[in-house]
Structure 1
Amino acid sequence: MTMKTTAPKEHAPADEPPKPSSAAQGFTRNLSTGLGAMLFKILAIAVLDATAIFAVFLAVAKDALLIASIIAVITLAINVIYFKRGWLPAKYLAPGAVFLLIFQVFVIGYTGYIAFTNYGSGHNSDKDDAIMSLLQTNQQRVPESAGLPVTVLDGAEGLALLVEREGQQLVGDVEEPLAPIDPAALSQYTQLSFADLLGRQQEVTSLAVPMSEDPADGTLRTSDGRTAYQYTSTLVYDKGADTMTDSLTGILYQDTGVGAYSAASGEQLMPGWSINVGLDNFTRAITDSSIRSSLISVTAWTFGFAFLSVATSFFLGLFLAIVFNDLRMKGRKVYRVISILPYAFPAFLGGLVWAGMLNKDFGYVNQVLFGGASIPWLTDPWLAKFSVLWVNLWLGFPYMFLVCTGALQSIPDELAEAAKIDGAKPWQIFRLIKLPLLLVSVAPLLISSFAFNFNNFNVIYMLTEGGPRLADSGMNVGATDILISMVYKVAFVGSQRDYGLASAFSIIIFLIVSIVAIISFKQTKALEELN
């Protein structure tokens, strides 16, 4: 009888804990991952909700109920999407849709809204703010008014005045009128010393504290930081009749519906307020002779600039692509690298560099290439246009070179060989075979390039700033201004900024580019038959 012996089982050390099973590990990992993701989602949604609530209250305070409603609906939709089980595609699409609404739809809609208003310099607030500003800016010292001893204080909201009147301490600043204050609350202010008064003299002298909630009571002002005097407006506002009367001249100003108080002579009090003017901005662009002539001139040059930029860069890029695509050419890889270097150069920096090189007095082109000549590349209207086209060609041909190179290499060599056998010459092969096939893939890119150059703000503004100025124009427009740079000047350059007119121009640009794109894409359908 044989006895079977088995090896003794090895036991884990007593101090070593048992290893968890793979199922337990997976459960723990899933639990921690799910919990972390849930906490992050709750935190992110909480921040979004808090921001949205603040935006809703702010919009309601500004009487923008439509915007408040849109924000509330979007926020509610996001909460539903991310807290409801399932709806996985919506969870990925929601962020992109929100950014699309904010940065595209809202911007376009707001631009369209501004185009139908008189929003701009002197008309950038509501009527109540305009009335308050008129009463505060047209003030004179009350004749023989007694001076009040004051103390200039510095607080969290800026400078304030402390006045003791009838045994009571009153404090007010630019935003808040004089009102009694608890002596204990004065600890939040710091009294300005004499040295501080001298160092901040401009702030002190420009400080105007309202006497009360009623703007007609005027303001309290000081020139030395020690004594203040009462100032009242020379304009008398009649709330019932909605009129302003100049107490010095007796002229009556009424609200005639133009966004400002106007006299019978047509004189207006500024600032006014923003109102809806309908199609007035578009009508001005057509009927006002000074604006119409500038608009026609700039539009014609915009089309010329966009067309010539695309044509010159395309043909130069195509020529270089054909040359460097020839296998017989040595070092063509090096030439290709050199040719695309301008494409890696930022357009706005290129404009600045060329602006220095084309300077009339000390530019490299005049001083070195033309032996010290004084050629006004950027100040003569026609030379400035040539300079803009030249710089844009330098910046744009590498893109066309890359596109044409890829398109040429995609055309089968068998087509050219078959044409040679049939007796076709190289020019015939290119014109009748390669060029039509090339246009099939390049035509959409030419259209997009035209649309890009139609709004190519960087090169124009960095090189010439739209100049030289057109002397016969009623607007701040130059010989090299295109529509987009003209819009920029109307909206942001100069003392008189007309955002309503600039928005109307933007809509006109959008319509022009859309029409050109639609017509161009319809014409390219004829090329598809070549496929």
Structure 2
Amino acid sequence: MSTPTQAPDAAPATKPQTGLSHARDLSRPGFYVKLVLMAFVNAFGIFGIMASYGQQEWGILAFLVATLVVANYVYFSRRAIPAKYLLPGLVFLMVYQLYVMGSTAYVAFTNYGDGHNDTKAPAITQILKTSDRRVEGTPTNQVAIFDRAGELGFAIVDNGVAKAGTADEPLAVAPGAVVDGAKVTELPGAEILPIGQIQARQADVLALRVSVSDDPADGWLRTDNGAMAYTAKSLLAYDEAADTFTSAEGKVYTADEKQGLYIAEDGTSLQPGWRVFVGVDNFTRMFTDSRLSGPFFSILAWTFAFAILSVLTTFALGLFLATIFNDPRVKGRTFYRAMFILPYAFPGFLAALVWKGMLNKDFGIINNVLLNGAGIDWLGDGNLAKLSILLVNLWLGFPYMFLICTGALQAIPGELSEAGVMDGASPWQRFWNVTVPLLMVSTAPLLIASFAFNFNNFSLIYMLTGGGPNYPGNPLIIGETDILISMVYSVAFESGTRQFGLASALSILIFFLVGFISWLGFRQTRKLEEIL
């Protein structure tokens, strides 16, 4: 009886030789490059984790831990090759898009801004510190002003011991400090400021308060001249049980949790306040506050007009020039095409500044040379300023439209135009019924993107007119040529009191407006696909 035999050339089944694969990895230079790069990633990640732990930012800490774990698995595993390419993009998407959007949405529902920057506990401490007076009988110490990583602090000699502290850290023993007599002259990790730098930063030095201990009731150090420091305590008495402040005159300030302020019966309040949730107040304020609603709707209308007219004018001029210079009978068209691209190659914000000088009422070349000394206030009159913005944007934007229209025209088959000639169509009929529909198939998405860009064209408005001329008597520094995005900047940074909550609400409004219009535009462009 015969038994089956194995073919002599048949290879026996073996398991994957993971050890050999690992050895091959170690022999490749790329592995060591990856090892060094991941070492840097882990070092920065661990530093971020430690910093987040110290500041009790638990959300950031959890994100960093999860990202490091995933990154190490992906880049040291042979089973996650696609993730090696996707992971960096996903991390940047979460950090620079999702986190920013989520943070903006959160701030939009709060009163965050000047006077409401922090939580309630720091606000109470700051109120106590900003309404203080010197405690009688306390000693005066020579003080050294130091700078540690951009943060100012005081250093004194107390009973022969050097102590240092900042606005956020109470006085504590400073190991390694060098003392000369009754003054600290050197402090490890910090720079002792000379008199010149103290005078240059006088406002910050005089406003600095450094707590004597962890208990605010013990008072804090302050200085009136940058040379001597004394202990001060607040003129207000804080009752933690009742959550009230009482002044020396007996006026009581009660916490208003809706406004994030301590308010007395006569309507006066203490500053600073604290961040609180205000619901949709920021979204409704522009519609309900009579001082803001009028300018807001004017700015909203001008924003749409500016974005739409910018797209129409630049596209019309770009298409007109592209059609002319697409004709092979035009001599030197390569040179002319290069010349038309020059405004697009010049940085937009610099071009806006050049045009601002040219349009100057008193010294601009347009008034003095081209118009023979006319005194036209191009940027000071509301209507003329809007016209100037549209013309400058036409100069900056038509080269882009010229480029895309030239490419789209060259992609249209010549046989279609010849067929129109055979059918007896006029040049205008061929252009309108054949060229334009085919052109729109390629350019419609770019026109929608151009609308979104001009809807948020902050640099042109800011550099050319600064949003002016301003609306008189308005609580915000906004003007007739402001668009929504420049209004957001003014609300957040330029209107005296920074109102980040209101600015965030406006940003959310812009996001939904642009998103809705873009969605509507792309939905309409689907109809153009039927042409093909």
Same fold, TM exceeding 0.5? yes
Any idea what the Cα deviations from partners look like across 1:464-488, whole Å, max 9, x if unmatched? Answer: 1111102254422111111111111
Any idea what the Cα deviations from partners look like across 1:472-515, whole Å, max 9, x if unmatched? Answer: 54422111111111111111213211111111111111111111
Question: In 2, Cα distance between the equivalents of 1:366 and 1:456?
Answer: 27
Question: In 2, Cα distance between the equivalents of 1:262 and 1:485?
Answer: 33
The question of 1:90 aligning with 2:83 is answered yes
Taking structure 1 as reference, are residues 388 and 247 closer, same or farther at Cα in structure 2, changes over 3 Å only? same
What residue ranges of structure 2 are gaps of 5+ in the alignment? Answer: 1-19, 188-192
Conserved? CA contact 2:131–2:234, under 8 Å? yes
Using the TM superposition, give the Cα deviation of residue 67 of structure 1 relative to its aligned residue in structure 2, in angstroms: 3.0
Using the TM superposition, give the Cα deviation of residue 85 of structure 1 relative to its aligned residue in structure 2, in angstroms: 2.3
Conserved? CA contact 1:49–1:75, under 8 Å? yes
Using the TM superposition, give the Cα deviation of residue 336 of structure 1 relative to its aligned residue in structure 2, in angstroms: 1.2
Using the TM superposition, give the Cα deviation of residue 224 of structure 1 relative to its aligned residue in structure 2, in angstroms: 5.8
Using the TM superposition, give the Cα deviation of residue 207 of structure 1 relative to its aligned residue in structure 2, in angstroms: 5.4
Conserved? CA contact 1:118–1:277, under 8 Å? yes
Q: Which residue of 2 aligns with 1:153?
A: 144
Using the TM superposition, give the Cα deviation of residue 208 of structure 1 relative to its aligned residue in structure 2, in angstroms: 4.0
Q: Which residue of 2 aligns with 1:75?
A: 68
2:163 counterpart (158, 161, 171): 171
Amino acid at match of 1:284: R
Amino acid at match of 2:521: S
Q: Which residue of 2 aligns with 1:138?
A: 131
Give the stretch that moved more between structures: 60-69 or 316-325.
Answer: 60-69
Conserved? CA contact 2:142–2:229, under 8 Å? no
**What TM-score results when the alignment is normalised by the length of structure 2?**
0.86
Question: In 2, Cα distance between the equivalents of 1:34 and 1:97?
Answer: 31
Conserved? CA contact 1:204–1:222, under 8 Å? yes
Conserved? CA contact 1:293–1:473, under 8 Å? no
Question: In 2, Cα distance between the equivalents of 1:296 and 1:277?
Answer: 23
Amino acid at match of 2:336: Y
Conserved? CA contact 1:259–1:275, under 8 Å? yes
Q: Which residue of 2 aligns with 1:525?
A: 526
Question: In 2, Cα distance between the equivalents of 1:359 and 1:155?
Answer: 47
Conserved? CA contact 2:145–2:226, under 8 Å? no
SS at match of 1:340: helix
Q: Which residue of 2 aligns with 1:12?
A: none
Amino acid at match of 1:250: K
Conserved? CA contact 2:488–2:507, under 8 Å? yes
Question: In 2, Cα distance between the equivalents of 1:487 and 1:197?
Answer: 40
Question: In 2, Cα distance between the equivalents of 1:368 and 1:465?
Answer: 25
Q: Which residue of 2 aligns with 1:105?
A: 98
Conserved? CA contact 2:344–2:400, under 8 Å? yes
Conserved? CA contact 2:157–2:184, under 8 Å? no
Give the stretch that moved more between structures: 209-218 or 309-318.
Answer: 209-218
SS at match of 2:133: strand
Using the TM superposition, give the Cα deviation of residue 186 of structure 1 relative to its aligned residue in structure 2, in angstroms: 4.3
Any idea what the Cα deviations from partners look like across 1:283-318, whole Å, max 9, x if unmatched? Answer: 223322223222211111011001100101111111
Identity of aligned residues (%): 49
Using the TM superposition, give the Cα deviation of residue 60 of structure 1 relative to its aligned residue in structure 2, in angstroms: 4.0
Amino acid at match of 1:467: G
Question: In 2, Cα distance between the equivalents of 1:283 and 1:416?
Answer: 55
Conserved? CA contact 1:436–1:527, under 8 Å? yes
SS at match of 1:121: coil
Q: Which residue of 2 aligns with 1:210?
A: 211
The question of 1:470 aligning with 2:471 is answered yes
Using the TM superposition, give the Cα deviation of residue 204 of structure 1 relative to its aligned residue in structure 2, in angstroms: 6.6
Question: In 2, Cα distance between the equivalents of 1:41 and 1:231?
Answer: 57
Please report the RMSD computed on the Cα atoms of aligned residues, expressed in angstroms: 2.8
Any idea what the Cα deviations from partners look like across 1:10-42, whole Å, max 9, x if unmatched? Answer: xxxxxxxxxxxxxxxxx9xx9697464333333
Conserved? CA contact 1:161–1:172, under 8 Å? yes
Alignment of 1:229-268 (within 5 A): 229-248=230-249, 250-268=251-269
Alignment of 1:311-390 (within 5 A): 311-390=312-391
Question: In 2, Cα distance between the equivalents of 1:340 and 1:225?
Answer: 58
The question of 1:305 aligning with 2:306 is answered yes
Taking structure 1 as reference, are residues 400 and 136 closer, same or farther at Cα in structure 2, changes over 3 Å only? same
Conserved? CA contact 1:487–1:502, under 8 Å? yes
SS at match of 2:479: coil
SS at match of 2:143: strand
2:156 counterpart (152, 162, 167): 162
Amino acid at match of 2:512: L
Conserved? CA contact 1:466–1:479, under 8 Å? yes
The question of 1:190 aligning with 2:202 is answered no
2:120 counterpart (99, 123, 127): 127
Question: In 1, Cα distance between the equivalents of 2:194 and 2:154?
Answer: 14
What residue ranges of structure 1 are gaps of 5+ in the alignment? Answer: 1-26
Q: Which residue of 1 aligns with 2:51?
A: 58
Taking structure 1 as reference, are residues 56 and 262 closer, same or farther at Cα in structure 2, changes over 3 Å only? farther
Amino acid at match of 2:34: K
Question: In 2, Cα distance between the equivalents of 1:110 and 1:421?
Answer: 62
Conserved? CA contact 1:151–1:163, under 8 Å? yes
Taking structure 1 as reference, are residues 483 and 200 closer, same or farther at Cα in structure 2, changes over 3 Å only? closer
Taking structure 1 as reference, are residues 296 and 330 closer, same or farther at Cα in structure 2, changes over 3 Å only? same
Taking structure 1 as reference, are residues 207 and 522 closer, same or farther at Cα in structure 2, changes over 3 Å only? closer
Question: In 2, Cα distance between the equivalents of 1:212 and 1:485?
Answer: 45
> How many residues align structurally?
497
Q: Which runs of 4+ in 1 moved over 6 A?
A: 30-33, 180-185
Any idea what the Cα deviations from partners look like across 1:204-236, whole Å, max 9, x if unmatched? Answer: 755544333322332334446776543221111
**What TM-score results when the alignment is normalised by the length of structure 1?**
0.86
Taking structure 1 as reference, are residues 134 and 438 closer, same or farther at Cα in structure 2, changes over 3 Å only? same
Give the stretch that moved more between structures: 409-418 or 375-384.
Answer: 409-418
Q: Which residue of 2 aligns with 1:295?
A: 296
Question: In 1, Cα distance between the equivalents of 2:491 and 2:273?
Answer: 19
Taking structure 1 as reference, are residues 518 and 226 closer, same or farther at Cα in structure 2, changes over 3 Å only? closer
Conserved? CA contact 2:162–2:177, under 8 Å? no
